[in-house]
Structure 1
Amino acid sequence: MCEQSTGWHEPPRQASYLLRLTLPLPPGINEQYATVNGHRVSTLVARRFKQQVRASVQALERQGKITDALREHFRQSYLALFLDFYFATPLKRDLDGGLKITQDALCESLGLNDNRVVDIHLLKHIDPLHPHLYVELEAIADWRFDKEYVVLS
C-alpha cells in the first residue's frame, strides 16, 4: 500500500526523511465515536481504520521502507503531514473530518507523539471509483517557532 495516487501532487520534495503511503478513507467524524453508558467510545469502524493504518505501517516495515533510523528521526524532528483525500463525491464529506483520526492512527503506529506535527496540508480530490487517502509524513529539518516568550506569574 505504498503506491502513489494518480491525482495532482506537489513535485517530490528533496527530503531524506519522508514517508508516503496510501490508506483507505478514514470514517467521517460522525462515524468515529458513540456514547455508551454515558461515555464516548471509539466505534468499530474507527477502530478498524486504526488497525488498517497499523497494518499498512507494518507492511512498510517488512519491506524495509520504515527503518529504525527513520522512526528515530521522526521522533526527534517536528513533522509535516500532507493528506490528499480522494472522496467518491465532492460535497458529501468535510475535508477536515478525517484529519484527527488519521494523524492519531499514523503517529500511534509509528510510536510518535502527534504534538510533533506543526504543519498540516489537506486537499480534497474526487475519485468515485477508488476513494482513498494519500499520506505523506515528513520530518522538517529547519522548523523554528516564533520568538519564545517568558511567562511571568
Structure 2
Amino acid sequence: MPAGRRRTGSHRSQVSVRVVSYRPAAKSEPVSKQPSASDLRPTVRQTHPRVPLHIPESSAVVTGESLDITLPVPPSINHQYATVQGRRVLSSAGRTYKEHVGQQIWLALSRSPHKRALLHRLQSESLALSIRFYFTSPLRRDVDGGLKIAQDALCEGIGLNDNRIVETHLYKDVDRANPRIRIALSLAAR
C-alpha cells in the first residue's frame, strides 16, 4: 500500500503526509566544511492533499472549427497574483487554476476525433473567444476580472499564442447553485 494511505474497510481514504528533509542547521557564521551527521537536524513540513476542481465529463464539445468547454470560475483578480520580493507573480491559486484548465482541455481534445483538424485551424487562422461567466451573485465580481487568466489558461492548454484572438465577447449571468464559465474558442468571422 502506498505511503500516506490508510486502508479502512474496502475503500481508501486520503490522509495528510509528513515530509521530512535533513538540512544543515542554521548557524550565524558561514560553514566552510561539509556538515557532519550531528550538524543535521530534521525539518518537518505538513502537507495536505489538494482537492481537484470538479468538472463534469460531458462539459466539452470539440469540432473541427471550435472548442466549447465548461470550466470552474477563475480566482478573483485579488487572488490571481501575489507580490514576491517586489515582483508581481501568479499566485498558487492562479497556478492551480491554470493547471486544472490545461488538464481539462487536454482531456477534451484527447477524446475528440477532430483534434488534429481543430489544432491546425486554430494555429493558422484568426480566432474569436466568447466567455460566459455564471457567478453566484450579480454584484460580487466584475466580468473582466476573469478574462485574462481564463484566456491565458485556455491558450496555454491548447499550446496557442493568445495574440491569435482578434475578437472577444464577455457575458455575465447568475447561477447560485452552479457557478462556472463557458468558453467557446472558434474561428473569427472574415
Smaller-chain TM-score range? Answer: 0.7 to 0.9
Aligned equivalents of 2:105 and 2:58: distance in 1?
Answer: 10
Q: Secondary structure at the match of 1:26?
A: coil
| The structure with more strand, counted as a fraction of residues | 2
Q: Report the Cα offset of residue 66 of structure 1.
A: 5.4
Q: Report the Cα offset of residue 40 of structure 1.
A: 1.0
Residue 25 (1) aligns with residue 73 (2): yes
**Structure-2 change in CA distance of 1:91 and 1:138 (3 Å):** same
Aligned pair count reads 132
Q: Report the Cα offset of residue 24 of structure 1.
A: 0.2
Query: Percent of pairs identical after alignment?
Result: 43
Aligned equivalents of 2:148 and 2:104: distance in 1?
Answer: 18
**Structure-2 change in CA distance of 1:65 and 1:87 (3 Å):** farther
TM-score normalized by the length of structure 2? 0.66
Asked if structure 1 preserves the Cα contact closer than 8 Å seen for 2:64 and 2:114, the reply is no
Counterpart for residue 79 of structure 1? 127
Query: Which consecutive residues of structure 1, in runs of 5 or more, have no partner in the other structure?
Result: 5-14, 143-153
| The structure with more helix, counted as a fraction of residues | 1
Q: Report the Cα offset of residue 123 of structure 1.
A: 0.4
1:134 corresponds to which letter in structure 2?
A: R
- Which structure 2 residues correspond to residues 92-111 of structure 1 after superposition, within 5 A? 92-111=140-159
Larger-Rg structure: 2
Asked if structure 2 preserves the Cα contact closer than 8 Å seen for 1:2 and 1:21, the reply is no
Aligned equivalents of 2:141 and 2:114: distance in 1?
Answer: 31
Counterpart for residue 3 of structure 1? 59
Aligned equivalents of 2:87 and 2:134: distance in 1?
Answer: 32
Query: Which consecutive residues of structure 2, in runs of 5 or more, have no partner in the other structure?
Result: 1-56
Aligned equivalents of 2:113 and 2:183: distance in 1?
Answer: 14
2:78 corresponds to which letter in structure 1?
A: N
Q: Report the Cα offset of residue 65 of structure 1.
A: 5.5
Residue 89 (1) aligns with residue 137 (2): yes
TM-score normalized by the length of structure 1? 0.81
Greater relative contact order (Cα 8 A, min sep 6): structure 1 or 2? 1
Q: Which runs of 4+ in 1 moved over 3 A?
A: none
Aligned equivalents of 1:135 and 1:126: distance in 2?
Answer: 16
Counterpart for residue 84 of structure 2? 36
C-alpha RMSD of the superposition: 1.6
Counterpart for residue 129 of structure 1? 177
Aligned equivalents of 1:29 and 1:65: distance in 2?
Answer: 36
